[in-house]
């Protein structure tokens, strides 16, 4: 009888690149970002529409070799929705076995069950303005490990009040790190920081950027309301919430809509 071998793990990859981690408790650290393609959700504020479908088929060994060549020890697996792919869990496990510190950013619409507990999960809790609140797998909150983190992406005052009530009812902020991230109105960050032309600077021309259609989709956040970081900061202080304000450092560095950073 002939012997058979298991099929190699293949993942659909939207992009992989080195960057400065812009979110969660690892903000500011050099990081390899693996963005897997495909997502069952369609959030109104999605800032990676290019990753919703498609991607390039890459076998796990080749992906691991790319990470190794980066020389960076922190890896984030994100999407799209990374856990929607069968190969995501083997990828996470393989990275951990090689000694990498692994972050897994998930939209919360797919079960996190079976993810290696050594990885740190950053789990979205979908708010009403996301348009995807009814697609949330709320059982994921019970599956989180002690070092995992939670993120709320907020589009409006109504979203903020909903998230505030959610935290008060569940006590989640007393048990783990919680991030509040604003979906700012188009141009809000650039205008307030006095860097309107950030997209036209040398950093934008020296790196891969989204085409004009993707820029427009990202800027408009697909019709989602907008919430300035200033207002969100003031509300957090007023209510003395035990949350971290998350401002996407990578966007501050390279500008909204810039890909490959």
Total structural domains in the chain?
Answer: 1
How far apart, in whole angstroms, are the C-alpha atoms of residue 182 and residue 23? 12
Q: Which two tokens stand for residue 115?
A: 């993810």
Residue 117's CATH number: 3.20.20.70
Instruction: Give pLDDT, residue 42.
Output: 92
Instruction: Give pLDDT, residue 153.
Output: 95
Instruction: Give pLDDT, residue 203.
Output: 28
Polymer length in residues for the chain: 261
How far apart, in whole angstroms, are the C-alpha atoms of residue 152 and residue 181? 6
For 154, the domain range is 10-254
Is 5 inside any structural domain? no
Is 2 inside any structural domain? no
How far apart, in whole angstroms, are the C-alpha atoms of residue 184 and residue 178? 19
Is 247 inside any structural domain? yes
Instruction: Give pLDDT, residue 6.
Output: 67
**Is the peptide bond preceding residue 109 cis, with omega within 30 degrees of 0?**
no
Q: Exposed (0-12), middle (13-18) or buried (19+): which is 99, by Cβ within 10 Å?
A: exposed
Is 98 inside any structural domain? yes
Instruction: Please calculate the CA angle 94-112-66 and round it to the nearest 5 degrees.
Output: 30
The 3-state secondary structure of 180-198, one letter per residue: EEECCCCCHHHHHHCCCCH
Report yes or no: 151 and 246 within 8 Å, Cβ to Cβ.
yes
Q: Exposed (0-12), middle (13-18) or buried (19+): which is 212, by Cβ within 10 Å?
A: exposed
Is 26 inside any structural domain? yes
How many angstroms separate the Cα of 43 from the Cα of each of 98, 186, 196, 222, 226? Answer: 34, 17, 26, 8, 14
Is 243 inside any structural domain? yes
Is 214 inside any structural domain? yes
Residues of the chain with pLDDT under 70: 1-6, 186-225, 249-261
Is 238 inside any structural domain? yes
Instruction: Give pLDDT, residue 167.
Output: 97
């Amino acid at each position: 009888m002939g012997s058979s071998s298991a099929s190699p793990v293949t993942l659909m990859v939207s992009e992989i690149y080195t960057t400065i981690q812009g979110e969660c408790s690892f903000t500011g650290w050099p990081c390899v970002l693996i963005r897997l393609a495909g997502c069952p959700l369609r959030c109104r504020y999605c800032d990676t529409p290019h990753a919703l479908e498609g991607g390039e088929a890459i076998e796990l060994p080749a992906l691991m070799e790319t990470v190794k060549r980066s020389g960076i020890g922190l890896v984030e697996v994100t999407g799209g929705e990374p856990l929607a792919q069968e190969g995501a869990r083997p990828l996470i496990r393989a990275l951990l076995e090689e000694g990498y510190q692994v972050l897994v950013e998930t939209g919360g619409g797919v079960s996190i069950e079976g993810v290696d507990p050594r990885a740190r999960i950053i789990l979205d809790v979908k708010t009403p303005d996301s348009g995807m609140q009814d697609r949330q797998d709320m059982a994921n909150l019970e599956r989180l490990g002690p070092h995992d983190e939670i993120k709320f992406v907020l589009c409006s005052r109504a979203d903020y009040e909903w998230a505030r009530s959610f935290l008060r009812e569940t006590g989640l902020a007393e048990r783990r790190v919680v991030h509040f991230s604003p979906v700012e109105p188009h141009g809000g960050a650039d205008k307030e920081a006095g860097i309107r032309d950030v997209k036209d600077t040398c950093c934008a021309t020296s790196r891969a950027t989204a085409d004009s259609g993707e820029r427009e989709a990202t800027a408009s956040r697909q019709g989602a309301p907008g919430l300035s970081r200033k207002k969100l900061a003031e509300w957090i202080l007023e209510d003395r919430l035990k949350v971290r304000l998350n401002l996407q450092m990578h966007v501050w560095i390279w500008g909204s809509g810039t890909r490959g950073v």
